[in-house]
Each structure stands twice: as C-alpha cells, then as structure tokens.
Structure 1
Amino acid sequence: MGSGREFIPTAHALEGRKVVLVDLRGHGRSTRIPSDLSRDAFVSDVAAVIDAVTEGGTTGPVDLVGQSMGGHTAMLVGAAHPEKVRRLVLLEVDEGNGSPEDHADLGEWLRAWPVPFANREAAIAHLGDDPLSQAWANDLEQRADGLHPRFDADVMVETIRAVAVPRWEEWESVSAPTLAVYAKGGMFTAEQKDRFISRGAQVTRVDLAGGSHDAHLDAFDEWVAALSGFVAA
C-alpha cells in the first residue's frame, strides 16, 4: 500500500549512486486500477523501467532492491531477467505466503478507513503514529474534499493474493548475488527465514537487531548499513 516515497531517505543515503524509485502498478502515482494484477505484469513493468534507465541494457545491469511485496517482485525479476540484475537486495521477503483469511482481513481493514481524511492529523489519528502509518499519511492524495489513499482496496487484496503463491522454482533459479535482510520484529518465523535462505543460490543474510517488517522506516540506520555495504562490495 506504500509507494517509492518510502525509500527517498534510503536513496539519499546511497550517495554517489543513481537511484530510481518505482511506484508499482496500483501503488503511488502509477495506474490506480490496472487491468492485470498478475505477478508477470509486475515483473514486466520493472523490466521495462530497467530497460529505460539502462538504455536497453547498454549501460549494464542494475542492483535491484525491494521490500515485502516489492521484494517479491524484485526476486521474480531476477529470475526472469538475469541479464538485467547485477545484485539483488531483499528486505523482509520470502518465496510467497498468506492465507485467504489474511487477505479478507486486509480488505476489511482498508475499506474501513474513514476517507476522505480532513487533513494529515486526522489520518494519523486513525492510522497511528508509527513510522509506517506516518509514511501512509504522507503519501495521501489531496483532493477537493480531503485526503485519499493512492490505492484501491480491492486492487491491494488481489495483488497480495498473487504474492501468496509460493515461487520456489523462481527463487532457486536466481543467479545474482543476493542480500536477504530480516528485522528482529519482522513477519517471518525463524523456520521460514532459514528455509528461504537455504534454497537460494548466492545469498548473504543479515539479521537486524531491531525494526519491524518495515525496517527501512523503523530500523533505518541498520538497514542502510547493510544495503550500502553490500552494493559497494
């Protein structure tokens, strides 16, 4: 439900590098209600962006970074287009998981947002003042009647349903050196993390001492240290 704006501080921290932030379809300032929400469609979008910023690959492959659903997309891009990805960084990612009950709960929660919010303060009062909620509030769209989310609840549910399908074959085929980063308070169990790492080809694992599933926001210094060290190697 977030957008590339969440990674603006990370981009600034990677001094000396060209960083392109992508709003995936259905998110941020991209198409609000896309006709295709398959994993292949997301992969094709990112591949097209890579081609655009590397002049069709003539300037070389990129270091591709993603968190959560965005990381799942990045993993699939690495599998489908190995020639485009030099290094892969996955923050709080696994092969795909989730239950129909989880998806139904997500949809119910999103549809209960009392939108439009009168202002940012009203959004924070409803969503909370943790770093992720603040990021959502900062990303709301100003319209004549107030602030609206930059996403559609049904699109978010359908998107996450596709992410829930395990993609072991793709993960095991990724050839790019990969950094897998997990937060202390993240969403995966020790068993899930161990299994994911063990089935990757060239994986370096970093466990942050703090942070949540959104460690790029609430464990920023640790996250940037892990990321910058890996892409500078």
Structure 2
Amino acid sequence: MAWSEHVVVRDRVRLACRGWGEPGQQPIVLLHGLAGHAGEWDVLARRLSCRYRVVAVDQRGHGASERHPRDVSRAAYGADVIAVVDQLALQRPVLVGQSLGGHTAMLTAAAHPGLVRALVLVEAGSGGPYPNGPVDIGGWLDSWPTPLPSRWNGSRIPRRRTGRCRLGGRAGRTRRQMVASLRPGRDGPLAGGERPAFLLARMDTGRMPHLVVLAQSSFIPAQEADEMLRQRPATIAMSIPGTGHDLHLEQPGILHTALSGFLEGLA
C-alpha cells in the first residue's frame, strides 16, 4: 500500500507526515530518533496498515519537515505530536517511538495521558542524566563528510556509540539543531526536565499499557531498564535477538509481530 502525504502546521513550523490506512481504524503514530526520518518506518507501517491507521512523522528539522526551526526544545517536539494528533483527528493513538522518538513519546504521554491509548518504546530509555551528550554527539557529527551530497543518506558513515545511544549516520539536520535538541528544558514535564520514568509512574497504569522493545545489543543500560520496569511493573518488555539500536530497520518483521500481539491485546 502506498502512503499519502499529510502536512501539519504548528506555530508556523511545517511538519510532513506519511499516512497509511483509513480513518476509523485504530491510529498509530510513529516517531523516529535523532537524525532519522519518517521513511525508516515504511516497512513496518505497510504491514500494520491493513488493520490500523498509521502516521509516521518527520519531526521538526528532519526529513521533509521544516529544516531550520528556531525552537528545537523537547517541549516543541512534544507539542508537535499533539498537533499531529489533533489536526489529523487521530483518536487516542498508540505512540511508538524509537530512541529519541521514544523519549518524545514518553514526555507527550506523561503530559497528556488522556490523549494516548498506549505507549511503545523501541530502544528508548527513561532519559536520565547524560551531561556529556551534546559534546559526544557534536564530535560524532563533526566526523561527517562536508558537504553532504544532497541525496546521500549517510549509509557509509559507521555507527557510533555515544555512551547513551547510537545514532545512524543520516543527513537532515544541522549540527547546532541536533545538539540543541538533546538539551533538557526547564519549563514543565514536556520540557524534559524531569525523568520520564517518574512522570510515567504517576500516570494511570490501568489506562495506558506499555510495551518496551530492546535490542540484544541494547544501548539502554540494564539498570535503567530495570528502573523503568520497577516504576511500571505492568509493562510488557522483550528483547529481539541479533539486533542493535536500529532494530526497527534491522528486523522490522519481528518488530511487527511483537507490536501486533501487543495491539491485539488492547482490544
């Protein structure tokens, strides 16, 4: 099934989305990680589209969305998700986020629990302190070739451990914006100033099921994953063998099977 393009505008920032399925089906919103794009979800989205309405978002500064937004705060990312849900009339969607997209999904759900049916975190942790993050990732970005070819996807850049996460070498954002988007905010839960694991612990556990999917070679520290499960003991958690941080690209079929089973349990 081919995808259709949707455009959402919030605060004069254009957000491009890919949509599959039909209105009236249970909606699912897919959120990519830092330096990613909506197209990463194409294989998974097509498989889900026979039963669900799927919307993959090019988050601000990524893909076909506004390339140079002035605001790249965690609050802006979360508010964009709410705008997509509202403007596309997605009734209580399931939020699925990989890496930094998972962090955005957690913060959005914590701030607006009544608008989200369920939360799926793919290689996403609780967002604890990572003071060297901007420096580490800034150094990694400096290793990219300059200038980047306009149609090049960065596949020749080796992936790199950053201490908290691993980012695929994909073009699409400026160094300044990527680094700035990692800095936590200070104004309210959506700004990311409080650890999402504790925000989620205060949510209604009976109304928001959780699925956590980690890679066999996960970059989420074991103690962090344990803390998330302790805060949310009803969470369904699994690990996919033979995968790394980009497991949604490496094993979309297995992820589809895991996600489908979880979604069927929501009925």
Q: TM-score, normalised by structure 2?
A: 0.72
Between 1:101-110 and 1:113-122, the stretch displaced more is: 113-122
- Per-residue CA distance 1:131-153 (angstroms, 9 max, x = gap): x858x3xxxxxxxxxxxx31111
CA-CA distance at 1:232 after TM superposition: 2.0
Q: Which residue of 2 aligns with 1:115?
A: 146
**Alignment identity in percent?**
36
Asked if 1 retains the 8 angstrom alpha-carbon contact of 2:201 and 2:231, the reply is yes
Aligned match for 2:202, one of 150, 173, 176:
173
Aligned match for 2:81, one of 40, 43, 46:
46
CA-CA distance at 1:207 after TM superposition: 1.6
Q: One-letter code of the match for 1:173?
A: R
SS of the residue corresponding to residue 120 of structure 2 reads: strand
Cα 1:86–1:99, aligned 2, differ >3 Å: closer, same or farther? closer
Query: Does 1:223 find its partner at 2:255?
Result: yes
- Per-residue CA distance 1:152-193 (angstroms, 9 max, x = gap): 111111112226963333221333111111111110122221
Q: Which residue of 2 aligns with 1:139?
A: none
Cα 1:25–1:230, aligned 2, differ >3 Å: closer, same or farther? same
CA distance in 1, matches of 2:45, 2:222: 29
Map 1:151-230 → 2, pairs under 5 A: 151-162=173-184, 166-175=195-204, 176-200=208-232, 202-230=234-262
CA-CA distance at 1:111 after TM superposition: 2.6
Aligned match for 1:89, one of 106, 115, 120:
120
Which aligned segments of 4 or more residues in structure 1 are displaced greater than 6 angstroms?
119-122
Asked if 2 retains the 8 angstrom alpha-carbon contact of 1:63 and 1:88, the reply is yes
Asked if 2 retains the 8 angstrom alpha-carbon contact of 1:174 and 1:201, the reply is no
Cα 1:119–1:47, aligned 2, differ >3 Å: closer, same or farther? closer
SS of the residue corresponding to residue 94 of structure 2 reads: strand
CA-CA distance at 1:47 after TM superposition: 0.5
Q: Which residue of 1 aligns with 2:15?
A: none
CA distance in 2, matches of 1:178, 1:24: 22
Higher strand share: 2
CA-CA distance at 1:5 after TM superposition: 0.9
SS of the residue corresponding to residue 83 of structure 1 reads: helix
Aligned match for 2:103, one of 61, 68, 72:
72
Between 1 and 2, higher relative CO (CA 8 Å, sep ≥ 6) is seen in 1
Cα 1:22–1:85, aligned 2, differ >3 Å: closer, same or farther? same
CA-CA distance at 1:218 after TM superposition: 1.3
CA distance in 2, matches of 1:11, 1:215: 15
Q: One-letter code of the match for 1:158?
A: A
CA distance in 2, matches of 1:200, 1:31: 35
Q: TM-score, normalised by structure 1?
A: 0.81
Q: One-letter code of the match for 1:70?
A: G
Between 1:168-177 and 1:87-96, the stretch displaced more is: 168-177
Higher helix share: 1
Q: How many pairs are equivalent?
A: 214
Between 1:193-202 and 1:150-159, the stretch displaced more is: 193-202
Asked if 1 retains the 8 angstrom alpha-carbon contact of 2:96 and 2:120, the reply is yes
Asked if 2 retains the 8 angstrom alpha-carbon contact of 1:66 and 1:73, the reply is yes
Q: One-letter code of the match for 1:22?
A: V
